[in-house]
A and B are shown apart, each in its own frame.
Chain A
Amino acid sequence: EAQVTQNPRYLITVTGKKLTVTCSQNMNHEYMSWYRQDPGLGLRQIYYSMNVEVTDKGDVPEGYKVSRKEKRNFPLILESPSPNQTSLYFCASSDPGETQYFGPGTRLLVL
């Protein structure tokens, strides 16, 4: 089954404790992206990657890092999480210019 998976689905952590949210897709898509979604603000792009070893900042990259060592994986790293990073995070993948497939989301609470 074609899908985008994210782990963990739910995470509660404390300020400053490094965490990684994994994202994996099995559709051989070149394009992958991370979004955060906050009430009333819609989806905002954090980082995206056009292909392996190619990553670029989106609209709200501060406080986040990503890597794309393999085509299928695109982890999101929060080196020192802060409460304002409490949000719902989505990973997505697609072929260039085509429909994006979204993961199920990761709900993060930073205390």
Chain B
Amino acid sequence: KNQVEQSPQSLIILEGKNCTLQCNYTVSPFSNLRWYKQDTGRGPVSLTIMTFSENTKSNGRYTATLDADTKQSSLHITASQLSDSASYICVVSAREYGNKLVFGAGTILRVKS
């Protein structure tokens, strides 16, 4: 069964600190892996999208990594800000199902001052 699991479920960090969110998936073969940021009560917004041949992709203070062999991805946030408080969702596109998207449940990040 195609699954995407994220850890931790929730995380609290101090402003200015770094953090790393994890995403493990069983989707195979896959087309791409995406990270989204979702502010409370709003729609998800894309942070990064990576194909299986890409190992890392950055978007400002957000850096996503991908290890297609171990089926793991991480999202690293550098020098966190209060505005980083949100849910971060890992999404994997399943190639053999017409690029159907498989969503993780998300990691809720809270940045405290």
Seen from chain A, the residues whose Cβ lies within 8 Å of a Cβ on chain B are: 4, 33, 40-45, 50, 90, 92, 96-105, 107
Chain B interface, >50% SS class:
strand
Q: Which residues of B contact A (CB under 8 A)?
A: 31-32, 34, 41-46, 49, 89, 93, 98-101, 103-106
Query: Of A41, A96, A102, which is within 8 A of B44 by CB?
Result: A102
**Given known contacts A40-B105, A42-B103, is B32 in contact with A97 (CB within 8 Å)?**
yes
Q: List 24 A-B contacts (CB under 8 A).
A: A4-B43, A42-B103, A42-B104, A42-B106, A43-B44, A43-B103, A45-B101, A90-B43, A92-B43, A96-B99, A97-B31, A97-B32, A97-B93, A97-B99, A98-B49, A99-B46, A100-B46, A102-B43, A102-B44, A102-B45, A104-B42, A104-B43, A105-B42, A105-B43
A41: nearest chain-B partner, CB-CB: B105
Bound Cα distance A92, B49 (Å): 16
Q: In whole Å, how far is A47's beta carbon from the nearest beta carbon of chain B?
A: 12
Closest CB in chain B relative to A1 CB, distance in Å = 14
Residues of B within 8 A of A102 (CB): 43-45
Closest to B99 in A: A97
Closest to A45 in B: B101
